[in-house]
Each structure stands twice: as structure tokens, then as C-alpha cells.
Structure 1
Amino acid sequence: MSQFIGVDIGTTRTKVGCYDTDTGRLVALRHTPTPTEADPWGGRRDAGQVTGTVDALLRQLLADPAVRPAALAGVSVGSVGEEVVLLSGAGRVTAPVLVWHARHGRLAQQTDPLVGPWAGIDDTFSVCKLRWLARHLPETVAAARTFTSLADHVARDLLADPAAPVFLNISHASRTGLLDLRAGTLHAGALPELGLPGLAAPELVSSATVVGRTSGAGVLPAGIAVVTGGHDHMCGAFGSGVRRTGDVYVSAGTSEAQLLLLEQLPESLAPGVDAGVFVAGGLRFVHRATPSGRYYRAWRNLLYADVDDATMWDELAGVADETGPAVIDADHQRAQLAALPMEITRAHAMASLLKGLAVEAEKTTARLGQLAGTAIADVTIGGVAAAWPAWRRLRQEATNRRLRFVAEPEPTVLGVAVLAQLGTTGTADLPAHLITADNEGTLADEHR
């Protein structure tokens, strides 16, 4: 009877989709590259261009015959969590948005490392980007009075109300470096000691919170609930049915993120593992990201730039049994191909790499379970790669666990849209079509 819109501002592509409660599916989807500008440190974005991109996609979505404007009840926005938007007292953007994986934060840490509670912090976190801006573009920070995440900035723009309070959802706050995870509050008083004395903390709100309704002055019709979203990986997990303590989700994208849901966080975290607040259920998570998708693209560009995906996966399927897994070093900077035939083809090399990455993924699952003191039986995997049987086979052969592969090609867009449903109605659908046919049962069966 109702429809909900999900907006996913990804690293490389921005997508908007309409979820229909009658069908239990995304009935319309539009996407385009996320605006990015090159710079010497790895990239930045113009927040105005991003909001313009989202508006253009929403106009296209509303023109789709499957979308019923009168049935639209809510909209939510998700994005990578570390990309931060600086805002003046009048709500004007004062600085570029630094791309989450770029080297700005690393440079800031090398120049003036954070100490105390922030010692050893992930240099992609928002505080490291803010420190880079304070040192390299100080006028942009001096003009700002607060900040928020890229997704929440876009969501606030959808309200078309310049007087709306600046808010930050707690899922994205988990990636700022400013969230006290145990207390669930922002370290607002820490901003001066971080070299950011002129900034005030935004209003912290939970994911799936209604922050207002569209006025009709923007691209969307009036009266639609605007609901806070969350980090894209967490929204993808939620959309894939990963919602219970002990559930593990692998998001196979640019960065392969793996997370484990918990009721309580462990006392300490291992190097390379971070933690945060999940988008629903009051749960926490421990998380580790590896650049598997980036390595895959580098090798694909080297070995298979001249063919389409189907041709490549057909080749891999034919030689997978003839190769062993690459041995990948602990810091994921080098790989040694192993157990290859004497008459090697490009398919052997690629299969060896993917097998090695599958082994590393299993190691990460085991380490997260050991860290949390939790037994893990099943792992749910979403992302474009999971659509290919050869990739699924390589992953399954690397573990004794049962892997559940998500058939929905856009689990993050779906998850953001269902978060809008949760915030608006208090309930969140669990679409039954999510899991691939080569798994036993369906997701809905397992949650009954």
C-alpha cells in the first residue's frame, strides 16, 4: 500500500530506488556517477553537486510509472560515513567534502598525530579530515559553525527548510571519531583540543528517526517523512536481513567491509578493527574493511580490460580447480601466487587472487568472532560480485560456514528505503526474495 525511497550516495555511484510494500521489492531504480573532483590527495566532492545529483535522480524516479507519488510515505539517505560537510551558521557549505578513502586524513596524522583517546585512530575518520581542512583550508573551517555527514546534509536539503536543525545520525557518528560508543553521545567538548575551536557538535539522532517532512518546495511532493539513514555498509546489512546478534555481513564493494552484530562491545579492539552503532535494534557492531574490491579492479584492468564480465567469469569457472589460493601478507600489500600450472593463463592468475581473498575473508570472520567471543555459523554476503556463481563457489570453498548470498543487486538502496519504512511506521519488511536460489530456504523462513 505504501512506497518508500532510499538514496545511496556511494563512493563511485549514487543510486535512488523506490521500495513497494505490496511487491516487497524495489520497483524503480536510477543511478549515476557520484560527483568527484580530482586533487593531489585522492579526491574531493562539492556538496552542492551531490545534492543536485540526488535531485536529478529523484526527478527521474518520480517519472517512472511504477512510482506512485500519492503512495510515497518516507525517504531516507545513506552514504559512506566518513565524508563530512562543514556548514556556516546560515547552513551554507563552507568547505569541500573530502572523499573517505583519500589521503587527506593520513597526511594530517603524519603531520600532527592525534594523541590520547584518538591515538591510532583510523585516518579515514572525519576528525582527521577536519584537521586537514583546518591546516590546509583554514578559512573554510573558520567560516563553519557545525558539521554533519554527507547523507544527513542531503536529507536536510530534502526538507527544503533552511531553518531546519543540523543533525547527525548515530551510524555516521560512529565513523567520525567523536562518538562515545558506550555512552552513545558525542565528545562535543573535544573539538577545541582537536584544533577545531569554532565548531559546535550537531544534534545527534538515531538512524530511522523522522526529522521532518518535505514542504513541497523541493523536488519531492509535500508531506513525505524525511528519515535519518546511516552508513552504506550498515544499511546494506539491514536490507539483507542482517539484524540479529551474532549475524555477520560482508559487503563486497570498493572496500570489502565485514561486520558482526553484538549487544555489547568487547572491552578492547584488535588493530584494524573498529566498532560502531548499528542502524536498528539498539545493536553495536565490530567491523573490519579490506581493499579486496580495489585489488580485484586493478587485476581485472590488467588482465581482462578487453572483455565483459560474463566472459571473464566463464574463463575463471573453467580453471578454478587448477589453481591454489594466492598467499596474501598480513598488511594486504603483497600477494604471492601459488600452485599454478606450468602453462598459465590470465584466468589462472585471477582465480588464484580471488581464492586468496576468499581465504582472507574467512580469516577476518574468525578473528571477529574470536574478538567478540561469539560463535558464528552463517555469513551473509551482498554486493555485485555475489551475482556470479563462480565467485560464490570460490567463497564457499574457502570456509566450512554456510554462506548466504544476497540476490538483490542493490541491498544498500533497499536497506535505506526499509529504514524509511521503519522510521515512518515502526516496522521494517524483510523481503523474502533476498537470498539466492542455491541457498536452502529463504531469509523470511529463517526469521519466522
Structure 2
Amino acid sequence: MVADLLLPSGTWNMPLIEWTFCPATAEKILAVPLPLQLMEDSLFWMGTNDGVYSAKTGYVFLQQVDEQGVASPSMSVSMEEGRWKKFWAAPSLPRCKEFSWRLFHGAIPVRQKLRQRAIDVDPSCPICGLEDEFVDHLFMRCEVMKATWFGSRLGVRVDPQQSFSTFFQQLVRDLDDGGVAEVQRLLYAMWEARNRAVFDERRVDWREVMSRAAALRAPLEEGMTRDVPAATMARWIRPTRGIVKINIDAAVGRDKLAGFGMVARNYNGEVMASASMYPTMVLSPTIGEALSLRWAMELDTQLGFRRVLFETDCLPLFQAWKKATRGSYLFTIIQDCFRFCNLFDFVDFTFVRRNDNNAADYMARNASTFTNEVWVEEGPPGLAPLLLDDCLASMPL
């Protein structure tokens, strides 16, 4: 029984789980978040973040199953939670972003897809001719494209056993905005090179692909600036007097270990407290963000804050908070957060852009270095420039 894997304190019995199950299974079990108080068991649908089934999500699931059997060997139309925002924010040309989006969703006419639509074409790769032209082969396993990935400034070694869908998601997850933009440019340049091979019968060289990708750099990346209204540049908005604004964030690594960050400030921009926590095993980035909210709420009650405003840059978490729909891991965590709300005199929860949450993001990304520290009325040295920047940008006119 699952209950046998729990300690009387309501936490996972880690030694028993690690002894009973293989490492991969034990890792997944330990990543399941547990509520702070007992709750009734419930069924939920894995196809949505809120756990509620709908005909639309059922159709999408069946469509994915069908595509896995008919189209590219392992194409998937789902992106890891919260990554599309990062994808669209990357500083690359719109055409590069659009192409990468279409490629991920299997909307690019590679030869195998054309043959599935009863179009009589040679199925082999037009660049190397060694395999049929699937998305996985053209953008990963083709020797020219493998050399392009490795020769780029990203220095990526392609795993031939990996699907393009998984490969693409890992790049978006692990790279910064500039790296994601580089991926988008490389994919666009690869497709252009492929089309030259098909229509102009030109030999494709990986150096030319890299050169073309470099030429696709967006003007803003080359150091050009544009006038931006001062009001749109503010990264942080001061709370109402008497309210403590608490920014939270979670940073999840490839190993599914999450670091949490929290920064609390008053109307004057003065730091009331800052903290970090590491590590916590999580199932997904959204679960990590929810756990960071629960952690921050519990910590802030201990710090004695009575009137608070929490801010997150995780839209799925904010939407789940507003809906409070039963039937998911998110719901169990949010229910705990609702109970903490009763310990405050005033509490609110809002969504902000990623650039408005830099201070909490810094604390989360460096949580493994800070190792569960709490600073009262101050923060680590590296946080100071971000706090000053936010404070100056949000000064009343």
C-alpha cells in the first residue's frame, strides 16, 4: 500500500523507498508532493495541469498516440510546462521562432510526411541519402546537421537515440534566452540548406549552415537599442504602504531537483527578508513553483509578516490558484497554501512577467550555493544590484 511508504510525520520513507524500488522509480515516487494535512484520494487526468478531463484534451491525447505510430518515430506535440513563454521571449527573428514552433508540432513537409499524404517523392534524405527523411534524422542524425550542432557556439553533442521532440525540449529548458535564440536560428538555417539541396541540388556544408544562422541574428542582439517608454522598463512595482510584497520563484534542473527563492520588500523597496531552499525533487516546473509558494508562505508566517502580496512569474500556477479545481497534485499544494492564508491579516497573489521577478529568480538559481539560508532585512551580496535596479526603476515620477 502507498500508506506503507509514508512515515507517521506524513513524509516519504526515503530509506524504504530507495531499498524497495529501482532508482528511477524511487526518484519518481519521492518527487510526488505530499500535502501538509490529510486529504481524500481523488482521480485526475494527466493530460492537463488542473487534472480535469475534457473532450479536447482527450482528442489531443489520441492524436499524439496516432502521430507516434504514423508520423516521425517519436514526435510529440507537448512542451514541458512553462517553456513556451521562454521560447517566444528569445531574442531571434519572428520567422525563426515560427519555423521552430511549426517544426516541433510536426508541421514541416519532410519527405516521409509527404509520402504519408500520397505524394510520390524519394523518401531518402536529400543531404546524405543514408536514411529516410524524418524530422529526427534531418535535424539530428544527418551527419551534416550533427556537425552543425557541435560546431556551433552551443557545442551540442547529439544523442542519436533521442527523439527531436525530447532534444528540443531539453535545449529550451537548459539554455538561457540567447541560447534558445541560437537554436531557433540554427533550425531555420538547416531547413534553408535542406531546401537548397532539394531545389538547387547544392551540396550542404555545415560551415555554411552556421554562417547563415549567424546572419539571422536579430538587430537587438547586435547591440542596437530602441527607445522604450520608461513606464514599460520598470521591473518591480512597489506595493501599497503597509503591504510586504514577496516575490517567489523556483529553478528546476535536469535532474528534477528544484531550488526555491524568495525576496520580501516594502513600499520603499527595502528588503524585509530573503531566503533560498535546496534541494526538492519535483515532478515538473509548475509543481516546483507551487511548492516554492507553499514554502514561502510557511516561512513568512514564521517571520511575522501579517499583510502580504505574493508574486509569481508562473502562469499555470496563477491560473490553478484562481480555479482551485480538485483533481491534481497542484490542487493538494494550493489547498495547503489556502490554509496558510488564514494566518495572515491580508493576503493576495498576482502574476508578473519573468523580467519583473529577477530578484527571486536569482535566489532560486543560486539556491544550491546558499544552502537553505534566510537573511533578515538583507540578502546575499549578488542580490544587491538587482534590488537597486528594481528600486530605481520603480521610483514614483
TM > 0.5: no
More strand by share: 1
- Please say which structure displays the higher CA radius of gyration: 2
Return the TM-score normalized by structure 1.
0.25
More helix by share: 2
Return the TM-score normalized by structure 2.
0.27
Bigger RCO of structures 1 and 2 (CA < 8 A, at least 6 apart) = 2
